[in-house]
Structures are given as structure tokens and as C-alpha cells.
Amino acid sequence: MLDRKVDEDRSREGFAAAGEPLMRIRGIAKAFPGVRALAGVNLDVFAGEVHALCGENGAGKSTLMKILAGGIRPDAGEILHSGAAYEPKNPRDARNGGVVLIHQEMSLAPDLSVAENIFLGSLPCKWNGMIDRRKLNDDAERALKACGYDIDPAARVGDLPIARQQMVEIARAAAFPCSVVIFDEPTATLTEAEAESLFRTIERLRKNNVAIIYISHKMKEIFRLSDRISVLRDGETQATLRTADADEAQVMSLMIGRTLDRRQASTWKFAGNEVLTVSGLSSPGAFEDVGFSISEGEILGLYGLVGAGRSELAEAIFGLRPASGTLLWRGRPVTVRHPRDAVALGIGLVPEDRKKQGLVLGAGGRENVILANLARLSAWGLLRRTRAAALYSEFTERLRLRSPSPTTAVVTLSGGNQQKVVLAKWLATDPRLLILDEPTRGIDVGAKDEVYKIIRELAANGMAVLLISSEMPEVLGLSDRIVTMHHGRLTGEFKGGEVGEEDLIRAVMSTDHNRPAKPPAAA
């Protein structure tokens, strides 16, 4: 099906020179408060090609896709589609222009039928204003068949497994004339067989001369599917390669780009006592049989791709998710059933999504910092304001938090400063183990370095740090030891100073053939 020879016969050789690109993207820039997401992206996409888009988290891929799909508007730059200026004001504009984004998270109405979802926004009517259900279901059936899917058009979408919901979305894209289809990490939630079926669909779209932009972290898929690869880093296009001429290492190094701030592996630290030992920890549907230990003053990196079960593991340790297995806290078996238990032991969690899980957005920095420390700051059930203020100023100084005032709503702060507020909140509880889940997601490069510095200081002062990250330079640059996670299992353990990117990549990517059954998507 994906025979390289056939592809070459078709047009693989011709892409660079095959006349005008279908879509020409020039100098697209976009800044959000506190973060420069895109700094000048150039991209040419030809009809009938699968154009893979790679980049680390935060490289700007999602922002670019949202711009193409009409979700947000760029600050600068221009896009030409079939030679005409393409400036979609909203998703409808984009769709009318033939550009469809298959979202990472589903964009379907769960309580409507498959057919209704496919033709949402243009339901066929009879003369009396009623929906023409027969035509609707027939058309939907045809659209599904055209993609090779066997789904009942009358089924309720919310009753379908995630993979089939995605098929509905694809069928919806294909039911209308479209010239550019963007897939945003489409296989993140799919099993292998489901992914195969998706690849066949993509192949079919390509044969119909549709331009496909394919975003993925998975090198295997990229090299299998794509005709060309563009790499995005720090909001800029680094290079566009022909897949036939490229290799994984080349793409990887373009993605990572900057030279890593490798810390000299310090050896004295491992004398520290073990703070937490985890063994046989399982949580059905998320991870299985996970075991590791972490010592005072140690930074343990946990590297894995999105969906590997890393955040779920953090949640289980913190008492947010039921799990079986043993936790030894400073050598003593403990049970953590509730975050309260974890906080009492001395565990802090800086969650992945600070806006949803870590901050009271409308409240000021001070309110947020004292939130996890209310008991300690109160006497007779009343908050001691002076103590709270002292605590806040102590940590703002330590973390170099820049906020106009202690009561400025954190929602107005930059990503980096927001993250510092979350850090301050947990540091004020004086934890012995701090779990950081993607601590630098969505924050500026400069702020990143500051967060790194803080993390190192904490470890140097004896705190155990579990650093969960999908950014390789971050894990490599900070960790004393690294464990890798893939599909809910630990797949390797490495010493910080001795491991390279390739080892990590291999540990989290190349075990595809013996992966366990995909956990239930509903979990």
C-alpha cells in the first residue's frame, strides 16, 4: 500500500519543482501575552503530498494549525491558497476555503447521530422544513463508505469508541470538497490497527490530490507516510526536507537544535536517602507495574510522549487516581488516597495544566500561594495576614516572580510567572518530594531557563524532584537519572550524564511491536 516505488513513480521526485504550491505560507507570526508562539513560519504545501510537520512541544505547531483552520488570526505574514490570499476569519471560512483540521480532541456533538455530525451545519431538509433523514443517512453512509468505514450513520456519536469518533470526523472532512486536510497528532489515542486504517484513509486522500499536513511526534509514522518533512522550532521553520533524502537523526537534531545545557553529572548526590520508592504500581487503563525510587537531592527525569501515562503516574502518587502497588516513603510503607495524605507526607505536585489544575486564575498571586498553606498560616481558624504576606514576599524573591502586586489576578501574568506562582505555592509547603509535570509548557525560553535554575537550586538543597517532561533537552539537561515511559510501562533507566537523545527516543518509540493492548479510551 505504501510502496515507496509507487510513490516515487507518482510524484515524489517532483515536489520541489512541481509548479505552484497549493498553499504558500510566508512569515506567519503570532504572539500571545507573554509567549511568542510563531516568529516567522514559511511553508509550501503541494496538492497530493503528505507534508509532515515536526517540532518539540511548544515549537508552534498547534498555533500554526489553528491559524490555518481559522481558529486564530496571525499577527503578521501571509498565506496564499491556490494563488489567492487566504485569511480565514473563522472555522467556517476555512472550511469553505477547503481547509479542514482534524482535531486532536474531538469536535463532535456527542448526543447527535453520526450522520448528523457529518452534515452538521448543513443538514438536508425536505420542503416542509423537516430534516430529510433518509437523504441524510444515505449521504452519510456514502461519505463513510468513501473513506472505507463501516459505521452505522444512525449511531449516537457519544456511544462510539474514540477511534471511530475520529473516523466520523475524517468522513466529515471528506464529505465536503476539501483541498487541505490537517491532522493534529491523529494516532495519539489509536491502537495500531486503528492507526493502520487511518493511514489507508490518508493514502486515499492523497490519491485524490488533497494536500495533507500531518503533525506527529512519531518518527516511524512520519517516515512511512510523508513525502516531505518540515521542522518547526521556537516558532520558526528550520528546514523542509524530502523524506526520501532525510533520516531520523537529522530530523531529531533539527527539532532539538540548540546545544544542550548539559549539567556536569554530579556524583555526590546519590548518597542521599531514598525518599520515595514505588513498586508494582498499576492503574488500570493508565499504567502498569511501574517501579522506581528517588532520593534526596536527586532530579529524576521521567521522559515519555504525550499519552504514555506519565501524568497519570504523577496523579496516582499524589492520591488523585486510584492505583494498586506499594509506596515506601522514607522506607516506611504508606497509602496515599487523597492529595491531603500526599501533602501531609511532604509531596507537592505542580500539575501539567496550570490554568486548569494549578491556579485560581482570578485570584492574586498571594491568594494562590497561601492556598496550599492555609493551615500553617492560620490561628484559631483565621488567616494571619502578616504571616501570609511574609511568606508570599519570601517566595517571590526566591523565585524572582514578577507581578505588579500581590493581588494582581494571576490570569494576567505571563506563563512563566504563572508557573512561578504554582511553584511558590508548593515550595511554601516545604515538600521533600516535588513532582513537576511539564513545568515549562507554554512559557518563554527565558522564563524556562529561570525555572530550570530554580529546579536545580531546590535539588541542591536536598529536595527530591520528579521531573515529568516530553521535552528532551529539558530532561537531559536537568536530570541525574532518567526513566522512560511508553504505553504505561517503564521502558528504560539511564544515568543523566551518559545518555543521549537517541537512547531516549529509542526507549519511548521503538517498542511499538510489543506494546500491550491499548487501555480503554473511556478511562
Partner 1 sequence: MSLATDRLQPSATSFDGLKTFIRSNSVWLLALALAVFFSLQSAFFLTPFNISNVLTQCVFVGLLAIGMTPVVISGNIDLSVGAVVGLTACIVVALQPYGLGVAVLAALAAGVLVGLVNGLIVEKMGISSFIVTLAMMSGIRGLTFLAIGDISLSSTDDRLNAFAMLAIGPISIVVVLFAGLAAVVGFVLRFTPHGRNTFAIGGNRSAAVDAGIAVSRHVIANFALCGLMAAICGIAMAANLGAAAPSFGRDYELLAITAVVLGGTRLQGGKGGVTGTLGAVLALAILRNGLNLLRVSPFYIPVIVGVVLIIALVLDRQVNGQAMRHGE
Residues found near partner 1 in the complex (CB under 8 A)? 90-92, 95-96, 107-112, 116-117, 120-123, 125, 129-131, 133, 150-152, 155, 158-164, 191-194, 517-522
- Please provide residue 261's backbone torsions phi and psi, each rounded to the nearest 5 degrees: -85, 75
Between residues 108 and 459, which has the closer beta carbon with respect to partner 1?
Answer: 108
Q: How far is the CB of 62 from partner 1 (least distance, A)?
A: 15
Residue 170, SS3 per DSSP: helix
Residue with smaller CB distance to partner 1, 161 or 492: 161
Please name the helix (run of DSSP H) or strand (run of DSSP E) that holds residue 28, with its range, or none: strand 23-32
Comparison of 84 and 517: residue with beta carbon closer to partner 1? 517
Which CB sits closer to partner 1, 264 or 514? Answer: 514
- Residue 83's φ and ψ, nearest 5 degrees, are 85, -10
Beta carbon of residue 171, minimum distance to partner 1 (angstroms, whole number): 14
Pure H helices in 180-247: 192-207, 219-225
Residue with Cβ nearer partner 1 (16 or 125): 125
Question: How many angstroms separate the Cα of 210 from the Cα of each of 1, 64, 182, 242?
Answer: 18, 19, 10, 18
Give whichever of 158 and 280 is closer to partner 1, judged by the CB atom.
Answer: 158
Name which of 176 and 223 has its Cβ closer to partner 1. Answer: 176
Read off the C-alpha cell for 71: 481558529
Q: Report CA-CA distances (Å) from 501 to 222, 248, 249.
A: 18, 11, 9
CB of 123 to partner 1, least distance (A): 4
Nearest to 388 by CA among 412, 404, 364: 364
Radius of gyration of the chain (CA): 25
* Kind and range of the H or E run holding 167: helix 162-175
Residue 515 CB, nearest approach to partner 1 (Å): 12
Question: Nearest-5° angle of CA 356, CA 471, CA 509?
Answer: 110
Q: Whole-angstrom Cα distance, residue 403 to residue 392?
A: 12
Q: Smallest distance from the beta carbon of 311 to partner 1, in angstroms?
A: 18
Grouping H, G, I as helix, E, B as strand and the rest as coil, residue 38 is strand
Nearest distance in Å: CB 112, partner 1: 6
User: How does strand 50-54 pair with strand 332-334?
Assistant: unpaired
- Residue whose CB is less far from partner 1, 106 or 464: 106
Rounded least distance, CB 514 to partner 1, Å = 15
Rounded-to-integer distance, Cα 190 and Cα 188, Å: 6
